[in-house]
Amino acid sequence: MSTKTATITFNDGKPAVELPVLSGTLGPDVVDIRTLYAKSGVFTYDPGFMATASCRSAITYIDGDKGILLYRGYPIEQLAVQCDFLEVAYLILNGELPTRAQKDEFVSIIKKHTMVHDQLTRFYNGFRRDAHPMAVLVGVVGALSAFYHDAMDISDQYHRDISAHRLIAKLPTITAMAYKYNVGQPFMYPRNDLDYTANFMHMMFATPCERYEPNPVLVRALDRILILHADHEQNASTSTVRLAGSSGANPFACISAGIACLWGPAHGGANEAVLHMLEEIGDVSRIGEYIKRAKDKNDPFRLMGFGHRVYKNYDPRAKLMRETCHEVLNELGLHDHKLFKLAMALEKIALEDEYFVERKLYPNVDFYSGIVQSALGIPTRLFTAIFAMARTVGWIAQWNEMISDPEQKIGRPRQLYTGAAQRDVVPIGQRG
Ligand code: CMC
């Protein structure tokens, strides 16, 4: 029971209202306003949820000022170095890191779900060859709802677990198929002798005529991208998944809604934007011109991959991704490649420039993950789909947490109405 309270007073004669204040394990306290309307007849106004905790959650914690990101209490720096993606997925889903036996069992379960129903492959033929992979993902992941009537009872934890496993296992297959469809190559079946990320790279880069031999440095790099993007608290796409799920919608439909939200350039599209920007700058000699444009208030141009809404001192994921970026460029001998040379020069110049230093505009995770994915041979238009693959773990864990929460209600925000006051319809012939 909360002992802290907050009192809201009104200057229009309404009586003051005392509200409980709730404390979490970490982070700011929250004022529990659930009874505010009943007690006072007012709503709160918070577009963009800048000051609203929309749920209780025990999954991810972020302290943007200190540059802290924890999954289930574990710092991202430790998870990224000591675990692989499926271990992190297990942690996010279940709350604890797996033992060796639990991990083996989880890996085996995921492997058993990697293939998609053969009928599902026909959906792809309905898309144009140049369909954006995110358009394909929104459609095909939503369409999974039509295939799994055997486990659609969302009140049954066992059914929820099966859906989570299916989604985590099939997202790489569906994403790689979107790529193969774009380039006109046959779909590659999953190889269950490979680990999760190596298998994804096989489905991307192998053909029926040529095997893909996984390079451990490159597989580890992509695996790290997946770990760093697996969850990020109540961001726009996660909140979308929760809101869609609050009506009782099935998990495939909810994840498809999350994918749609992630597609927006203000959310998952930044790493793609980094590559477009580097291509536009084109040469080290033009960096000065673009830095000048980024500082010009009358020019809408911003340096993509710099700055963050939450991490105001540094993005802990960016530090890890930077390391990976250099490992990959070394492994592939790409440090002298024009695009990557340009990226490194831009990073150096921006980090030393007073404008960026003063405003704490450091390269964010997307700056480096865009470069890494490009070096791995992943086409730019697939970057957000890979983000969706990783974030599926967070989305489904958050969805599951919401369904199990006894305080969960259908999401139904109210509004500050600014339209016409009530009026009467005038017959059409009498309207001026
Ligand atoms: N290039 C140039 N100036 C910038 C940039 C940038 N990338 N980012 C912020 N600024 C300036 C901005 O003009 C403002 O200057 P002033 O105080 O003189 O008016 C100041 O820095 C603060 O900017 P803001 O817009 O108030 O900061 P914000 O927290 O609203 O924006 C941001 C954060 C990420 C939207 C922004 O930094 C940005 O647009 N960055 C480029 C896009 C990008 O890389 N996005 C990916 C973020 S990571 C995604 C994830 O975590 O999933």
Q: Are strands 5-8 and 17-22 parallel, antiparallel or unpaired?
A: antiparallel
Ligand 1 geometric centre to CA of 360 (Å): 10
pLDDT digits (tens, 9 = 90+) for 391-420: 999 999 999 999 999 999 999 999 999 999
Going by alpha carbons, the residue nearest to atom 15 of ligand 1 is 359
Residues near 390 by beta carbon (within 8 Å), at least 6 away in sequence: 85, 225, 226, 227, 228, 229, 230
What band does 310 get if pLDDT is binned at 50, 70 and 90? confident
The whole-number pLDDT of residue 62 equals: 96
- Per the structure block, which two tokens stand in for 366? 């997307």
- Residue bearing the bigger pLDDT, 97 or 268: 97
Quote the pLDDT of residue 309.
82
For residue 337, indicate whether it is catalytic.
no
Q: Give pLDDT, residue 202.
A: 98
Least confident of 157-171, 242-256, 331-345: 331-345
Report phi then psi at 68, rounded to 5. -110, 135
How far CA 129 is from CA of 135, 190, 263, 280, in Å, comes to 12, 22, 19, 26
Q: What is the pLDDT of residue 114?
A: 98
Which residue's alpha carbon is nearest to atom 21 within ligand 1? 359
Let me know if 308 is a catalytic residue: yes
User: Separation of 306 CA from ligand 1 center, angstroms?
Assistant: 7
Using CA positions, which residue lies closest to atom 11 of ligand 1? 359
Residue owning tokens 């991490």: 311
364 CA to centre of ligand 1 in angstroms:
10
